[in-house]
Amino acid sequence: MIWLRALLLILALVLPVQAEEIVADMSQARVAITADFDGSEILIFGAIRREAPLPAGPMSVVITVEGPSAPVTVRKKDRVAGIWINTEAVDVDAAPSFYAIATSAPLRDAITETEDLRHHVSIPQAIRAVDAATGAENAEDFVDALIRIRASNDLYQLLEEEITVSADTLFDTSISLPSNLTEGTYRTRIFLTREGDVIDQFETAIDVRKVGLEKFIYNLAHDRPLIYGLFSLFIAIAAGWLASAFFRYIRGA
């Protein structure tokens, strides 16, 4: 890790840049989901290159990692005549399957509400709920419930003041990816802000893919459902027969 920081500092000093520009990298750009995958940790690090003296005003770094988005239906259950049933539902246009945001300062100090709206940085802004907002009076409650549910499963993470900044130049943090990841491209953005305004932005991606047996079973289930069903039935029958034969052997012995 020390040599990485040293390399980034050298680049920040010798390369021609704008007034302030982000140079960044990650410990890995590809995550393989296997049958025994139990999560992963991504180290994100970088430096700020400058061609002029350090500007005035507090500097902050904000990092977001966003998984593939998809429409979501959020339902509310109520007890009616002693039975829990769905009474209300709100359709959210698109919600990230995973979203983590890390900051070097409290979020509201790191980025203004205007910049948040422009760049969709915070978790609520990363969720597109246009139709939900126009279709229900209490739609915000449903969006809040979606955030709470996914946060409880580590799919939405707010990591305030988890980015370490050294000498107003070097920064690093780590993002924990849970085991229940959705396959796809995870958009990673790094924002440099001063007094809450975005000065520069750097973007890269993490490729999350199923491999090995996990990929074979997933592809078979989605691309060849009939074969997958027959294969599952065969395994169930074989397992039942083997169990029966084993118990018969035990009784005979």
Give the per-residue pLDDT at 5: 54
Average pLDDT of the segment spanning 141-169: 93
Average pLDDT of the segment spanning 158-182: 94
Q: Band of the pLDDT at 50, cuts 50, 70, 90?
A: confident
Q: Out of 112-116, 171-175, 182-186, 225-229, which region has the weakest mean confidence (pLDDT)? A: 225-229
Average pLDDT of the segment spanning 131-152: 78
Give the per-residue pLDDT at 190: 97
Q: Is there a contact between 49 and 23 (Cβ–Cβ < 8 Å)?
A: yes
Give the per-residue pLDDT at 244: 76
Helix (H) / strand (E) containing 69: strand 69-80
Give the per-residue pLDDT at 142: 86
Single-letter residue type at 58: P
Q: Is 195 left (phi over 0), alpha (psi -120 to 50) or beta?
A: left
Average pLDDT of the segment spanning 232-246: 76
Q: Band of the pLDDT at 171, cuts 50, 70, 90?
A: very high
Percent of the chain whose predicted confidence (pLDDT) is above 90: 49
Token pair listed for 158: 């707010």
**Distance between CA atoms of residues 206 and 37, nearest Å:** 16
How high is the mean pLDDT of the chain? 83
Identify the residue with better confidence: 113 or 88.
Answer: 113
Q: Is the pLDDT of residue 96 over 90?
A: yes
Q: Is the pLDDT of residue 3 over 90?
A: no
Percent of the chain whose predicted confidence (pLDDT) is above 70: 79
Give the per-residue pLDDT at 198: 95
Give the per-residue pLDDT at 228: 59
Q: Is there a contact between 26 and 42 (Cβ–Cβ < 8 Å)?
A: yes
Single-letter residue type at 22: I
Average pLDDT of the segment spanning 55-84: 86
Task: Indicate the class that CATH gives domain 2-210.
Answer: mainly beta
Q: Band of the pLDDT at 161, cuts 50, 70, 90?
A: very high
Q: Is there a contact between 207 and 31 (Cβ–Cβ < 8 Å)?
A: yes
